[in-house]
């Protein structure tokens, strides 16, 4: 069974007099634990697809099933709880809370869920990501690579089933980007998390097990599909 499956997803935006077709009839599924890159030119719909798969945005039509349940059948509150508990998000811009220390940022989703942090698990994450000695700094005092590793720890703090990452290495230099990506892959594999990674960087995409290529809102290629 696929952990995440979408069918006939369409997304249109009104843009003045005209309509932008950001996604056109996308049907695709993801296995538990799979590492999949989504690539394609700017404007091809990568972020839109990621946001809809992650329940951050509604499609114009079509469904997204998480463990066979339709995301958009939940009300807003239920959907945000599901997102917080089962999904993790990493964005290009890190999106850390500037007033909180790195450690407080990592714990945020757990505390928002009114749960007690699992100290052991959090220390394991912190160690895997190599951020032990940065935990009590504010984000402003951290390098981009360090901030992104904190953001990854935060995204994994609730033990999500799926990690969605949109250009997570986009603001990092080539070397740091590679390191962050290896860490993402490593923790994903260690924890059996499904990783859906948007990137326009071919070198990064090629490190994934599967590559989906979007063109103009459609799937132009999917490396997991047999060519006909
Ligand atoms: N909120 C919005 N309102 C109107 N049009 C939008 C909106 N969001 C996205 N679009 C349009 O939808 C299309 C797909 O956008 P999307 O952001 O998904 O592309 P992308 O592949 O992520 O591009 P990039 O690589 O530049 O991030 C683009 O034509 C974009 O202009
Ligand atoms: Mg984008």
Tokens of 127: 């160690």
Which residue out of 12, 45, 50 has the highest number of ligand 1 atoms within 8 Å of its CB and is therefore the one to mutate? 45
Residue 1 lies in a domain: no
Centre of ligand 1 to C-alpha 15, Å, is 11
Asked, for residue 20, whether it belongs to a domain, the answer is no
Distance CA 79, CA 74 (A): 6
> What pLDDT is recorded for position 110?
93
Dihedral angle, C-alpha 55, 61, 67, 68, nearest 10 °: 160
Residue 128 sits in a domain whose CATH number is: 3.40.50.300
Full strand arrangement of the beta sheet holding 61-66: 18-30, 4-15, 61-66, 69-70
Count Cβ atoms below 10 Å from residue 158 Cβ, excluding itself.
22
Residue nearest to atom 11 of ligand 1 (CA): 22
- pLDDT (tens place) for every residue of the chain, 228 residues total: 899 999 999 999 998 899 999 999 999 999 999 999 999 999 999 999 999 999 999 999 999 999 999 999 999 999 999 999 999 999 999 999 999 999 999 999 999 988 898 999 999 889 888 899 999 999 999 999 999 999 999 999 999 999 999 999 888 888 888 888 888 888 888 889 999 999 988 888 888 999 999 999 999 999 987 554
pTM: predicted TM-score of the whole model, two decimal places: 0.94
Any domain includes 17: no
190 in a structural domain: yes
Atom of ligand 1 nearest to the CA of 14: 4
12: in domain: no
- Minimum CA distance residue for ligand 1 atom 14: 45
The verdict on the CB of residue 199 being under 6 Å from ligand 1 is no
Domain count, the chain: 1
Confirm whether 141 is domain-assigned.
yes
Range of the domain at 171: 31-59+75-222
Please write the tens of the pLDDT for every residue from 151-194. Answer: 999 999 999 999 999 999 888 888 888 888 888 888 888 889 99
Q: Transcribe 144-196 into DSSP letters.
A: HHHHHHHHHHHHHTT--SEEEEESTTTTS-HHHHHHHHHHHHHHHHHHT-EEE
Q: Would residue 228 count as lying in a domain?
A: no
What six digits make up the tokens of 84?
Answer: 């917080």
Q: How many angstroms separate the alpha carbon of residue 116 from the centre of ligand 1?
A: 38
Residue 124 lies in a domain: yes
Ligand 2 centre distance from Cα of residue 47 (Å): 4
Nearest residue (CA) to ligand 1, atom 2: 13
Number of neighbours of residue 141 by Cβ within 10 angstroms: 12
Instruction: Identify which of 12, 22, 57 to mutate to test ligand 1's pocket (most ligand atoms within 8 A of the CB).
Output: 22
CA nearest ligand 1 atom 8, residue: 48
Q: Would you say the CB of residue 45 lies under 6 angstroms from ligand 1?
A: yes
């Amino acid at each position: 069974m696929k952990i995440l499956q979408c069918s006939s997803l369409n997304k249109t935006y009104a843009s003045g007099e005209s309509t932008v077709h950001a996604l056109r009839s996308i049907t695709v599924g993801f296995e538990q634990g799979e590492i999949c890159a989504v690539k394609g030119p700017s404007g091809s719909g990568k972020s839109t697809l990621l946001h809809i798969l992650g329940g951050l945005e509604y499609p114009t039509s079509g469904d997204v099933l998480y463990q066979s349940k339709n995301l958009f059948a939940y009300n807003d509150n239920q959907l945000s709880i599901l997102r917080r508990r089962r999904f993790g998000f990493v964005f290009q811009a890190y999106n850390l809370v500037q007033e909180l220390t790195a450690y407080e940022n990592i714990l945020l989703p757990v505390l928002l869920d009114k749960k007690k942090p699992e100290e052991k698990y959090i220390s394991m994450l912190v160690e895997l990501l190599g951020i032990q000695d940065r935990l009590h700094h504010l984000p402003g005092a951290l390098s981009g690579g360090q901030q992104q590793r904190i953001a990854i720890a935060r995204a994994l703090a609730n033990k999500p089933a799926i990690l969605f990452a949109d250009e997570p290495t986009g603001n990092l230099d080539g070397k740091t980007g590679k390191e962050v990506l290896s860490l993402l892959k490593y923790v994903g594999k260690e924890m059996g998390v499904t990783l859906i990674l948007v990137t326009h960087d071919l070198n990064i995409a090629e490190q994934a097990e599967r590559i989906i290529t979007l063109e103009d809102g459609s799937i132009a290629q999917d490396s997991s599909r047999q060519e006909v």
